[in-house]
Structures are given as structure tokens and as C-alpha cells.
Structure 1
Amino acid sequence: MGGGIVAAEEQTGFSHLLDPNKKWYNNKRLITLNAWIVILLITSCTNGYDGSMMNSLQSLPQWKNCFNHPSPSELGLLNAIQNVGALAACLFAPYMSDGIGRRYTVLFGAFIMVSAAVIQAASQSVGMFIGARFLIGFGLAFASNAAPMLISELSYPPYRAPLTATYNSLWRLGAIVAAWTTFGTYRIEDSTWSWRISSAIQGLPSLVQICLLVSKGREEQALQTLAYYHGDGNVDDPLVQYEFNEIKAALDSDRHVAANVGWKSLFSTPGNRKRMRIIIALAFFSQWSGNGIASFYLNAILTDINVTDPTIQLLINGIIAIWSLFWALLGSALIDKLGRRVLFLSSAIGVLLAWIAQTVSFAEFWQHQTPAAAHSFIAFLFVFSAAFGLGFSPLIIAYTVEILPYHLRAKGLTVFSFVVSLALIFNQYANPIALGHLVWKYYIVYCCWIAFEVVFLYLFVVETKNLTLEETAAVFDSK
């Protein structure tokens, strides 16, 4: 569907057109639609798999021996190079999403990631491994630009916000698969297959997308697609007509306005500057809230608190991934009930309190080597993961897509992805070096930064619950 539905993630403007008895679980066509959307949702799994896999590989003696025990700076490069690849593709992704369509852009990215996963699994040197990870990031930039927009544009209105929020939450599903795969392959002793299997499986979500999205065949026209999935085949259904008229309005805007919309337009009006201030801040917050340490360097911090057994480290990594997915999916389900501000602020405050508690526990262990302090640190690590998963995981993509008007959506999402990659590159390269030199004192830096995040979110995040596109635009553009 070329233009896509431009209604907001809420259904206030057309709630009277919805059949209250039509649920996703009692309508075969909605079940089919949601099945296709699930294929798009797993795009995020590749990204989550990557972080957890790199975390787990650092606990594998077989991987460390194969690559001559990488130093902290080398670990930083191995982790950051994926996002360097994403940065290289960022400027091209929105043009492909708008030019050849969302679905074909997802497929393009998926083909690159499958090829890269094969190269990664076959790596014979650090350089080959780094090159493969660059390609994974390059392909992921295309897929992750198009997939959340297509999810938002295809979803049946009452489920649009939860489904879009679920997109980033499934980062955790990829992390679960990586953590437990590596936990199992760790037992393949004296063999490089202990890490090669994990590296190859990273391409599995993309391979599923290629097989199923290609088999779907030629895209139908917008009206027929809407009628089939949203109106049980009736092109005269009031909801279908309502949505189709919005598509025509969006395409008309695309012809007469968006053709002249450049990157400067993202900052050309007070409303757009307000949007971009929030989006850029959320991009940094999504990676600079302490999660960059827990996601990529869990091995290092567990070693610092004297948890050195690889089996225990891998087990903690696997359990945290499952725990985090639960809270992220809960946040996705509550997005329409609690609203965006409540979830964002609850998440940020919870993250701040948990991080302060981790800092105190870490300092106590480092100074007095108290086992109880190490145990409390691990407990607060779980509290931190729950708090982060509740709000940040589901909202950062969903809210970004939600507040951007159609003609700015692809470019705005690209800016978000670009800033995320910049933040990740800094985190992944700086964190192991800073942890090596400052140890627990480095946690104080994050305490101050997360406190700033709480204040920013309270002052600037706009509630969009129960607002249509026009009402959301009015809030941002002061109309």
C-alpha cells in the first residue's frame, strides 16, 4: 500500500465507524493482516540479537581465544562497527522507503543482513568479522526505517499504537534467542562452532522475511487492501472510505508539498522544531540511560563484582532478556490505557532510582568486597531492566512515528536512527574504556544524566493519547 494510512495511532476521529464486535481474534482477515505485521515486527529482533550476541560472545573462551582476547578498545570497535554501518546507510534509507515502497526496502535490508550473517559466521579473522558486522548495520538501517512506518500504516486502527509499540519491544525477543543460543553453544568445547552458530542465526529473522514477504507477491491497490483487511471486502465500508480518503489526502500532499520538502523542513517551523527536539532527545535517551552498559558489557560488570563463571554470566544474560521482554510487552499493551507521558515518566524515574541503587551496591562491593553488595547489584539490575522496558522500549519508535506528519515521517525517522547510531557508537567505544579506568565511579555520570532525562521528559513530552493526526498536529503547531 503505497501511501499508507496517516491517521494517528488513536481512533478518536473514527471510533463511531468501528464495529465493537470486530476483534483481531474473531476475524480471519484481521488475523491474516496481523500475521503479515508480525513478519515486519521481527525486524527489530535482528538488532536485539546483535547486542545480546556480542554480550554473550565476550563470555565465551572459544571466541576470545579465536580473536586473541580483544582489548577494551578493540571490544569497543567490534560493538560500534555495526552502528557505523547503520550511519553509512541512513541518508539513503528514507529515499528508498518513499521511492520503491516500505516492503521492498525491508526486503533490500533483509537480503544484505542474511549475506552479512553468513560472512560473520565464516569469519577467519577479526577484520572479516568487523566487515560482516558493518554490513549487518548497513542492511538494518534500511529495514528499520521502513518496517515501523509500514506497521503503523497497515494496522487496523484500534491496534495501531500497541502494534507499533511492540516493534521496538521485540528487540528483547532477539536478545532472548541470542542469549540462550550462546548459552547452549558454549558447551561445544574446543570448537569455533560455539560462536559461529550464534553468528549465523543472526540472519534467521531476515531470512524469514525474505521467504514470506517475497511470496506475498505484488502489492494490491490501497482501496482493495483496506477493504480486504479492514472492511471484510466491502469497499463501501465507512471506515474503509474514511481511511482511503486520508490516504488520498496524504498522496495529494506528497505530490504538491512533499516533493519540495527537504531536510531543512524538519526544522523550518516552530512545530517541527518542537518535534525534532523531542525526537533527537529520545534517540539519545534510548541509548544513554545506562542500558548501553547492561546490553553490551554485562560480562565486564559481572566480572567486576566477582561473578566470573561463564555459565553464570550467560545464565544471567538469558534471564534478563526474558524479564525485559515481559515488561516491554506490558508497556506496549498499556500505551493506550496509561498514555505516553505516564509511561515515559514512570520508566525514567524507575531507571534513575534503580541506577542509583546499582551505583551504591557497586561502590560497596568495590570498597569492601561484600558478597551481599554483589547480589543486590544483580537484583537492582533486574529492577533497572523492568523500568527501562516498561516505557523506553515500546515508546521510542512508536512515539517518533506518531508525532511526525506523513510527508516528514521517513526523514524524521532517519534522523532518529542517525542519532541512535551516533549515541551507540560513542557508548560502545567509550563504555569499556571508562569502565576499565573508573569502574563504579563511571556509574555516577549516568546518575546525573538520567536525572536530566527525567526533567526533560516532564517539561517537553507531549501527550498524544486519544488524538487524531489533526489534533496531534494542532498540539505541535499551535493551531
Structure 2
Amino acid sequence: MTKSSLKNIVGVDLLSVLPPDRKQWWETPHLIKLNGLMAGLLLFSSTVGYDSSLMTGLQSLSQWTKFMDSPSGAWLGFISAIQSLGAMLGLPAQAWAANKFGRKPCIFVGYFFLFLGVGIQVGAHNPAMFIVSRFFIGYAGAWFQAAIVLLAEIAYPTHRSKITAMYHCQYYVGSTLSAWLVFGCRNIDSMWAWKIPSLCQVAFPLVALPLVSLCPESPRWLISKDRHEEAHSILTKYHAGGDDVAPLVVFQMDEITRSIILEREGSNSTSWLDMLLTKGNRHRLFISLTLGTFAQWNGIGVVSYYLSLILKTIGVTSITKQTLINGFLQIWNLVMAVVGSMLVDFAGRRTLFLLSTCIMLVSYIIITGLSGSFANNHVGSVGTAVIPFLFLYYGGYDIAFTPLVMAYPAEIWPYALRAKGVALTSVSTYLALLFNQFVNPIALDSIAWKYYILYICLLVVILVTIYLTYPETRGYSLEEIAVVFDGEDAAVSTVAELQQMGEEKKLKTEHLESLAESS
């Protein structure tokens, strides 16, 4: 990677303290270990993706619909929405606990509720037990979201943006496995057709468990608790390969410490109300709330949760065809989401958001036109033509909203409010999702393709809002991003200051040594 490209990622100050003999991360033992441990954290997004795709797949299985007494309309919406309700109720507690007890303990709380929920779901004897199980699974997902905050705070500086963007991409690793597992179980002539995919919801967390256990705690959280030596040890081990006087370690310790001190001086608390106290925080709050809402109100809620209903409106009624399309769609989503995550430093966050929304807008206009034509003329080829544009729409969504919906809030908030900021984005996402899950099936049953016109209008609103209010954040370290929202006064440190501090320390040491010799 060239010096100019690194400058676009981390900025001038941080670039100047990076090791001059930098190698690729796979050639550097301490970065191999760090990235290997973080791979476990990435899998928690797969759990959410698995569950979302699971509900889409289960709706195509006659075994599940029979067990659930053929839910439809508002009742089907409630069954899908109960998971979101559980997550919403868990997020405030998780945000508080992440600052109080650390990022890692929150993840282990999520394990308890996930195993409880999956146990009830697999052992369900009636629809009520299935619904209760989804609540606990959603509650577990709220606690797992501490993983994205931990990722942002332990990642190597030049890797942070891509690593955090990759987090939500793993959503499609889970959804892909779920979609194909449902496809493979579709012909089992018993309730195990849906119970086997339900049981496999624990697969990704179980794989991640040993890696999470070995993963370091956030150095920023440790510094906030005045555990500076532990934070220094983690940065030394994972960012500098054991060199405790490496310029990168010195720089990060100073920058993080100064940032946290400035936050403490600026406010006596880290309450939710602090998000309203400054212009910069209000701007961050607006982005966190709108991004979570936009992530669901751009039409994705219709496509992801009610794909089978959409396919029925264009004449695709075969269970095999529906589950097959869903399976290939998840693979496409994964590929495009990874492409988007790799572009966050090259193209920038703002450019990706604008490009993503434009692609979705054009695709939705075409999908609406084709669906309307099929409804009037019932020409099979017209209905089939909708399918590639569904893929194009999802490709647009995936290059920005998948990788950045969690990564963008995780980087724009200062340390003390980061967990709360990410939680708010998730709450706004789930609120929008709750609305979608209740309204979408009713609207699709009532007005079918005409409902898509609403999302065309919303996509125009989203495009204008992003253009006017979403700033570019590439080229800054996690602490330096404060300058984008709070102005130059928020700058916490520069290399020149660190060098001056080093010279002053050296002069003091030499002065003390000379005094000792003269005495």
C-alpha cells in the first residue's frame, strides 16, 4: 500500500508513526494473531443474518406454516417483529453495561440468551413457544452488538475501517447458510424441516466462542477505567509486536488518553442527554437515527422478509424456485457487501452512500414498472424480468448500507458515547423494521406492487438527506474524527506535540543526571 493511499486511511499524524518497514498483515505475526481473534467477533453479525434469512425461508415451508397455523397479514408481521422487539429492549442495557463492565462481558451475556432462545425454539410444541423463543434470540442479538464496538477499538489503525465495514457483511454469511439449509431441508416430511435450521442458529457463536475468549479487551475502555498499564500492554502486544516504546504505541496511548480526558472535562456524565448538548453530538445523533431508519425504509424490508410474497406477485409460486432464488440472492449479497467493504477507504463513506441510494432508486422504479405490468397483463417473461433487478437493487444496498450501517456510527461517536451511539442506530433500525414487519405484509396483501411507489419516494428523501448531512470521515484515526463534527478545537494531539514532549522529557532526564554527577 502506497504512502498516499495510507494517508487517505489514517491521516498525516498517524501515518508518521507507523513502522517504516511495514509488511503485509499476513507477513506480520502479531497482526495475524490480532486479525485471527477479530474474525471471531465478525461472526456475531452472521447470527443476525442467519435469523433474518431463516424467517424468510420458513415462510416458504409448508411444515412451518402448518405448525404456526398458516399465519398471514398482521399476525405474520408480529411473528417476524417479536425478534426486533427483543433486540430493542436489550440495547439500552447493553450500551450501559459496555461502558460499565467492558465490551467483552456483554458478548458472553448474549450467549446465555441465545442458547435459551434456540432451546425453546427447537423444543417448541406450539406457536406461542416459537414466538417466545424469537424474543430471546432478538435479546441476545442486542448484547452481541458490543462486538462491533470492540472491533473498532482494538483493530490495527490501517485496518479499522475495512474490519468494521466487514462486520455487517458477515450478516450474509449467516443468511446464505440459512437460505441453503432451508432449501436442503424443504422435503423432510416432519417438523425437523424447520427445526434443523432453527438449531443451527448456535453454529456461528459456538465457532466464535474460543476466539472471543482469547480476544483482548478494548484499550480505550481500560484507559477510561485508569488501567493504563493493561491498555499499554495490549497495544504493545497486538499493534507493535512487543515493542513497548514503539512510536505507534506512544502515539495511541497519548491520543486515546487525551481524548478521554477532554470528554470528561466537557461533560460530567455520559448519559443519553449528552447526545443533545453540543452541535457536534446533535449532528452525530441525527446521522445515527436516520441511518438506522434509512437502512430499513429504502425497500429492503419488503425484499428481505417477504421475498416469497414478492415472488408470488410476479408468478413464482414454486417452493423450490422461491428457496433457490433466496439462496442465490444471499450469495450475491455476500459478494457485493465484501466489495463495498473493500471500497470504504478508496471511494469514501459518503460516495458509497450516494452511489448505493442511486442504484436502489433506479432499480426500484424498474421493479415497480415491471410488477405493475405483470399484474395487468400476466405475461410470464415480464414477471421473470423483475428477478435480475431485485439482484441489482440488492447490489446497490450491499455496497454501502450493509458495510456501513454499523461501522459509520461506531467511528463518528467519541469513546464515552460510542456504545450508546451504535445502540441508537440499532434501535432506530429495529423501530423501522417493526413498522415494516407489521405494515408490509398487510400492504402487499392489499395493494401488491403499488406499495413499491412509497419506497421510491423514500429513496429520493434518503438521497437528499445523505447529500446534505453525511460528511466524509476517511483519513482520520478513531479519535481524530471528532474534528469533522466538533471543529479544529477537538483535535487531541499531533506528532509535533509528542516530539516536543519527548524532547522535554529528554532534557529533564539529562538535567537530573548532571545534578546527580555534580553532587
**TM-score per shorter chain, which class?**
over 0.9
- Aligned runs of 1:58-457 on 2, under 5 Å? 58-144=59-145, 146-188=146-188, 190-214=189-213, 221-253=230-262, 260-457=269-466
Q: Quick check: 1:46–1:205 contact (8 Å CA) kept in 2? A: yes
> Residue 142 of structure 1: CA displacement?
1.3
**Greater Cα offset, 467-476 or 376-385:** 467-476
C-alpha RMSD over aligned residues:
1.8
Which whole-Å CA distance do the structure 1 matches of 2:69 and 2:210 have between them? 37
> Residue 256 of structure 1: CA displacement?
5.3
Give the letter aligned to residue 104 of structure 1.
P
Q: Quick check: 2:46–2:175 contact (8 Å CA) kept in 1? A: yes
Q: Quick check: 1:77–1:428 contact (8 Å CA) kept in 2? A: yes
After superposition, what is the alpha-carbon deviation per residue over 1:407-465, rounded to whole angstroms, capped at 9, x for unaligned?
11111112111111111111111100110001010000001011111111111110112
Q: Quick check: 1:111–1:206 contact (8 Å CA) kept in 2? A: no
Residues 369, 376 of structure 1: alpha-carbon distance in 2 compared, 3 angstrom cutoff:
same
- Aligned runs of 1:13-52 on 2, under 5 Å? 13-19=13-19, 21-52=22-53
Q: Quick check: 1:103–1:150 contact (8 Å CA) kept in 2? A: yes
Which whole-Å CA distance do the structure 2 matches of 1:458 and 1:256 have between them? 33
Which whole-Å CA distance do the structure 1 matches of 2:209 and 2:314 have between them? 43
Match of 2:128, SS state, is helix
Q: Quick check: 1:110–1:210 contact (8 Å CA) kept in 2? A: no
State the TM-score, normalized to the length of structure 2.
0.87
Which whole-Å CA distance do the structure 1 matches of 2:120 and 2:210 have between them? 20
Which whole-Å CA distance do the structure 2 matches of 1:469 and 1:211 have between them? 28
Q: Quick check: 1:435–1:442 contact (8 Å CA) kept in 2? A: yes
Which whole-Å CA distance do the structure 2 matches of 1:439 and 1:139 have between them? 34
Which whole-Å CA distance do the structure 1 matches of 2:217 and 2:273 have between them? 35
After superposition, what is the alpha-carbon deviation per residue over 1:216-258, rounded to whole angstroms, capped at 9, x for unaligned?
6999921111111111111011101111223333454566556
Which whole-Å CA distance do the structure 2 matches of 1:150 and 1:37 have between them? 9
Which whole-Å CA distance do the structure 1 matches of 2:390 and 2:122 have between them? 31
Percent identical across equivalent pairs? 38
Q: Quick check: 2:104–2:217 contact (8 Å CA) kept in 1? A: no
Which whole-Å CA distance do the structure 2 matches of 1:414 and 1:60 have between them? 34
Q: Tell me, which stretches of 5 or more residues in structure 1 are unaligned?
A: 1-7
> Residue 91 of structure 1: CA displacement?
1.7
After superposition, what is the alpha-carbon deviation per residue over 1:62-112, rounded to whole angstroms, capped at 9, x for unaligned?
111111111222210111000110111122111111111111111111221
Q: Which residue number in structure 1 is paired with residue 223 of structure 2?
A: none
After superposition, what is the alpha-carbon deviation per residue over 1:89-139, rounded to whole angstroms, capped at 9, x for unaligned?
122111111111111111111221122112111111111011010001111
Give the letter aligned to residue 374 of structure 1.
G
> Residue 211 of structure 1: CA displacement?
3.9
The runs of at least 4 consecutive aligned structure 1 residues that moved more than 4 Å come to 215-220, 253-259
Q: Which residue number in structure 2 is paired with residue 4 of structure 1?
A: none
**Greater Cα offset, 56-65 or 219-228:** 219-228
State the TM-score, normalized to the length of structure 1.
0.94
After superposition, what is the alpha-carbon deviation per residue over 1:147-198, rounded to whole angstroms, capped at 9, x for unaligned?
111101111111100000011111111110100111111121x211110011
Which whole-Å CA distance do the structure 1 matches of 2:129 and 2:13 have between them? 53
Q: Which residue number in structure 1 is paired with residue 495 of structure 2?
A: none
Which whole-Å CA distance do the structure 2 matches of 1:431 and 1:162 have between them? 33
Residues 9, 97 of structure 1: alpha-carbon distance in 2 compared, 3 angstrom cutoff:
farther
**Greater relative contact order (Cα < 8 A, sep 6+):** 1
Q: Quick check: 1:11–1:157 contact (8 Å CA) kept in 2? A: no
Which whole-Å CA distance do the structure 2 matches of 1:218 and 1:339 have between them? 29
Q: Quick check: 2:256–2:479 contact (8 Å CA) kept in 1? A: no
Q: Which residue number in structure 1 is paired with residue 468 of structure 2?
A: 459
Q: Tell me, which stretches of 5 or more residues in structure 2 are unaligned?
A: 1-7, 219-228, 489-519
How many pairs align? 470
**Greater Cα offset, 381-390 or 260-269:** 260-269
Match of 2:353, SS state, is helix
Residues 224, 288 of structure 1: alpha-carbon distance in 2 compared, 3 angstrom cutoff:
same
